[in-house]
């Protein structure tokens, strides 16, 4: 039987990391939360915005590492909402891009609790803006594929689509599997000299860029700190990426404390 006293659950996109890239709607949701269940990639700059009165619980999910189970997260959202709490499930990037938003929404609604999804800036868009390249370009990149190593791992048709030289391939959570991903893309016909990049800590103050090629990228990433969030882009447009304006951007980034409540 449904409980009489219900709060609500907001699935909120925290964006790539910088507090000033939160949407106004996301910030208002955080400010009004009674409970915040946040991902491991939600950094300190955004955590400083959590209300002192809110109960904040990290429920991190990281590839190839110990993670909080999805079933536990689902049940935690429902449990707190049934006490009448305003629950924010705070996710890095956008909840609808590899954020399990559909699964979580279905579970919470099936238990009689209202759900709203608040989108966030996805890392691919933030990386393109920060490092001065476009995900699409006339005559060079006619389409974009968002994928993870696991979503790519399937039929040969999937690899052929990703290996199209007019496609920009955006890889989320792909660093640990980049050796096999690069090998399969080359086997599917993509030239090993295809431009590629890895953007680390996108939008954060310590953001950095590795410019490479498809064939060299696994070696270039071999020494990368596994704790840093890494976004990988493969395709012709990756050749346009540059750190030229990175220092200027760091100077104008708003500190978290500047976003008053």
Q: Does the annotation count 61 as an active-site position?
A: yes
Q: Does the annotation count 91 as an active-site position?
A: no
Q: Does the annotation count 39 as an active-site position?
A: yes
CA dihedral sign of residues 16, 14, 51, 58: negative
Catalytic residue among 61, 91, 94, 201: 61
Written in H, E and C, the secondary structure of 153-197 is: CCCHHHHHHHCCCCEEEEEECCHHHHHHHHHHHHHCCCCCCCEEE
- Size of the chain, expressed as the number of residues it contains: 261
What span, in angstroms and rounded, lies between the C-alpha atoms of 185 and 81?
44
Catalytic residue among 39, 94, 177, 201: 39
Catalytic residue among 77, 91, 94, 173: 173
Render the chain in DSSP notation, one character per residue: ---SS--EEEEEE-BSS-GGGS-HHHHHHHHT-SEEEE-TT--HHHHTTS-TTSEEEE----TTS----HHHHHHHHHHHHTTT-EEEEEESB-TTTTS-HHHHHHHHHHTT-EEEEE----HHHHHHHHTT--S-BTTTB-EEEEE-HHHHSS-HHHHHHHT-TTEEEEEES-GGGHHHHHHHHHHTT--TTSEEEEEESTTSTT-EEEEEETTTHHHHTTTS-TTS-EEEEESGGGGG---TTHHHHHHHPPPGGGS--
The residues annotated with a catalytic role in the active site are: 39, 61, 173
């Amino acid at each position: 039987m449904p409980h009489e006293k219900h709060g609500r659950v907001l699935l909120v996109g925290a964006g790539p990391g910088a507090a000033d890239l939160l949407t106004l709607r996301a910030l208002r949701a955080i400010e009004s939360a009674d409970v915040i269940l946040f991902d491991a990639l939600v950094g300190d700059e955004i955590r400083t915005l959590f209300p002192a009165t809110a109960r904040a619980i990290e429920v991190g999910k990281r590839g190839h590492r110990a993670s909080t189970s999805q079933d536990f997260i689902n049940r935690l959202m429902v449990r707190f909402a049934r006490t009448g709490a305003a629950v924010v499930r705070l996710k890095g990037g956008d909840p609808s891009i590899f954020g399990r938003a559909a699964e979580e929404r279905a579970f919470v609604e099936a238990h009689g609790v209202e759900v709203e999804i608040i989108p966030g800036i996805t890392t691919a868009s933030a990386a393109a803006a920060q490092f001065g390249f476009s995900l699409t370009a006339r005559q060079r990149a006619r389409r974009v594929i968002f994928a993870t190593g696991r979503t790519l791992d399937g039929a040969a048709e999937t690899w052929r689509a990703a290996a199209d030289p007019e496609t920009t391939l955006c890889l989320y959570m792909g660093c640990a599997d980049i050796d096999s991903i690069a090998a399969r893309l080359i086997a599917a016909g993509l030239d090993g000299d295809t431009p590629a990049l890895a953007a680390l800590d996108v939008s954060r103050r310590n953001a950095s860029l590795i410019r490479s090629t498809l064939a060299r990228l696994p070696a270039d990433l071999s020494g990368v700190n596994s704790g840093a969030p890494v976004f990988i882009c493969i395709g012709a447009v990756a050749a346009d990426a540059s750190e030229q304006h990175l220092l200027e951007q760091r100077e104008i980034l708003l500190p978290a404390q500047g976003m008053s409540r």
